[in-house]
Structure 1
């Protein structure tokens, strides 16, 4: 089952209120591990700070609800509306009645009252926009069992990039020391999942996926890259990349820091489901 929820003017709506909203909307549906949840934001974002905050809250609160139902395998995608809703081929669509209820004729349409909140764009309104600030950006990771934290990182990279996003995906040879390595996805699976999500999030963006075979990957050699997108936990890696580029006579990259990977706001969006945890659950399921 594929379910879509439209949200607008998310503002400072607290995580607890969002969990209650997802419980209200999804509680009657017969979801299973193969179901998909698409959350579509209709707000216009100008600053990555605001989008980062919104993504953290939405992935965290929707995942909290699904975990309470033992539905940890359900895929969640939080999207900025840059496409026709019909392209998502949803089985169910939930829309706020205040603004959007009369605009859709979906066969399984439910209209709901969204909790009141101030606009998400009230924060940092005096700051300049960094939407599509860089023509070419890059990021890297393993992207095994692609999860909410990966999707936040990829979303933020797509947001600040106007033309070309280079994604380094760690080659299999560098993963021999990973925990539960026998449950790692193949490099083709990991690359395909990255491509699939970015095509959904920003279909106009050129995405080049490059295998990482050393510490820096393409960021250490590609001169046209302007920015490197990292999570707050991997800022030191960005500094190493810039050191390497300077040594090679290349320009330093602007480092764009994402506030970190799902979870709760009060713990710094610490990731709720890591790739290691997902591989561990695969192992446990295989033993039962």
Structure 2
């Protein structure tokens, strides 16, 4: 069960699970905390996991005024402070990986390690055009189902479309009692479309693992590789046959990989 907590002058919905070293999970565009269900279920025997709804998603209210990636990073920091977590392994996906980058840059002491999934540092022309298409698609699609069916063409593998995974995810999204408004979707999308961290990534000091899906067309491996090349000591891995959301499509493999990375960091910390 989750709860609304007071953080950074507002309310943020958080879900917590498990015991062990702290892990903060930062979801991407439009995704509530439930997007991490396979990690909340699959890693809770080894970690204390915290997931939350970004502003304008799920049960967290949409504030007045424009959203920004640094502002959303302050929300992440506020969640950790409110829960009394001095530092955590931080994993961000897609837009959430941008928030995680900013969190590591602005609050390095809060970040024990970084896992950046389907990430980018500088939006290129293709990415900006794609985001523009999503912006107007959200308000002009004939139905919410049609919007999801189109949007998920960028998110999941052909395998997931063929085996019923995408159909199941769409049904779960339509049944979710806290749907995101078109305005909230567009206002979240806007800062992800333009925010640029590439020139500052060398300032990140946390051990970092960058994961990219081989078939990801929303954040292709070349963008993730550019991020990893600029973060000192970062590891970069391409997941063969996977797309934008491997943590949902192949959760067992994904959980095993991030667990191994966090164990390495834990062992290194014990030695120092």
For normalisation by structure 2, the TM-score amounts to 0.28
Report the structure number with the largest CA radius of gyration.
Answer: 1
The structure richer in helix per residue is 2
For normalisation by structure 1, the TM-score amounts to 0.27
